Amino acid sequence: MGILYVVATPIGNLEDITFRAIRTLKEVDLIAAEDTRQTLKLLNHYEITKPLISMHRHNEEEKSNSIIEKLKNGENIAIVSDAGTPGISDPGEILIKQAIENNIKVIPIPGACAMINALICSGLDTSNFEFLGFLPLNKKLRKEKLNEIEKITKTCILYEAPHKLKNTLIDLKNIIGDRQIVLARELTKIHEEFIRKNIDELIEISESLKGEFVIIIEANKIEKNENELNKLSLEEHYKFYEVSGLTKKEIIKQIAKDRKVNKNEIYTHFL
Ligand code: SAM
């Protein structure tokens, strides 16, 4: 039985690849690549000569079957995508699942990933985040996803294609309002920058911005505060509003709203 290596490659700067990734690419029997021309540039740069087969999102299922057969026959295979970590908004998931089902060992070879590097330098909360990949193009699914983002009490991370950036920012503004957004542009490349402006300013400049982007959105803090309050006992919840000077009636109304229950329920508790 061979081993399947999931190898991360650079997202721009060719130096962002580990010694272990290069050794692995040199040692495997075969490399499954998203776009073989793209991977060839990387292999040429590191003077690696290796047979390549193409496996992209339109043929992953079909190609996975033949790759699994090769692994069963003892070949060691690396999977790479055009940039970054396979399986993260890139092919890989189907093949990896099949390998696991067939008791084939799967080994990650860590490296660059746009969303992690965007997040760590965004200045937003890194302790609790949600990666959502690309927003759906289908109108209904897109609306559902945007509504979901509106409620998420964690930092949200999105990928977006350059020509769709403006539309996506407008959609975000309509749903989440003026929450802080950071654009991580051209990570690891010459024109790398983190753009921290309010959403209207971002929309205004978005058409003049070139390159690749990660969109990082501040957590919904209002919902987060409400969730925190709902973990308190009713008495503690009451005290929280009492110290801010609300009347008994106002406090009961607010608690009922936070907890999404009828205000009579709260009123009865405090009788
Ligand atoms: N698998 C990749 C990874 O590990 O990050 C992501 C591949 S996905 C098809 C491509 C998207 O990732 C781009 O549309 C962009 O949102 C983001 N991306 C990739 N490279 C980037 C870079 N150098 N700077 C900013 N965003 C990048």
Nearest CA to ligand 1 atom 2: 84
pLDDT of residue 137: 93
Instruction: Specify the pTM.
Output: 0.85
What's the rounded Cα separation, in Å, for the pair 112 and 266?
51
Measuring from atom 11 of ligand 1, which residue has the nearest CA?
Answer: 159
Q: What is the pLDDT of residue 258?
A: 80
Banded model confidence at residue 240, pLDDT cuts 50, 70, 90: confident
Distance 102 CA to ligand 1 centre (A): 30
Q: For 128-139, how does the pLDDT look when each residue is reduced to its tens digit (9 = 90+)?
A: 999 999 999 999
Q: Give 1 Cα–ligand 1 centroid separation in angstroms.
A: 33
Cα of 251 to ligand 1 centre, how many Å? 47
Name which of 95, 66, 57, 101 is nearest 79 in CA terms. 95
pLDDT at res. 74: 98
What pLDDT, on the 0 to 100 scale, is given for residue 23? Answer: 98
Tens-digit pLDDT profile for residues 135-186: 999 999 999 999 999 989 999 999 999 999 999 999 999 988 878 999 999 9
77-113 pLDDT, tens digit per residue, is: 999 999 999 999 999 999 999 999 999 999 999 999 9
> Which atom of ligand 1 is least distant from the CA of 88?
1
Q: Give the whole-angstrom CA distance, residue 232 versus residue 240.
A: 10
Tell me, what's the pLDDT at 55?
A: 94
- Ligand 1 center from residue 242 Cα (angstroms): 48
How far is the centre of ligand 1, averaged over its atoms, from the C-alpha of 195 (Å)? 16
Ligand 1 pocket by Cβ (under 6 Å): 11-12, 81, 83-85, 88-90, 113-115, 159-161, 184, 186-189, 212-214
* Atom 26 in ligand 1: residue holding the nearest Cα: 213
| Residue to mutate, 131, 212, 217, ligand 1, most ligand atoms under 8 Å from C-beta | 212
Cα distance between residue 218 and residue 205, in whole Å: 20
Distance 159 CA to ligand 1 centre (A): 7
**How many whole angstroms from 162 Cα to the centroid of ligand 1?**
11
Question: Could you give the C-alpha distances from 236 to 84, 168, 230, 242, 255, in angstroms and in order?
Answer: 47, 41, 10, 10, 11
CA of 114 to the centre of ligand 1 (A): 5
CA distance 206 to 236: 46
Q: Identity (one letter) of the amino acid at 147?
A: N
Q: Quick one: which atom of ligand 1 is closest to the CA of 116?
A: 5
Residues of the chain above pLDDT 70, percent: 99
Closest approach atom of ligand 1 to CA 115:
5
The 10s digit of each residue's pLDDT in 226-236 is 777 788 888 88
Task: Please tell me the predicted confidence (pLDDT) of residue 64.
Answer: 95
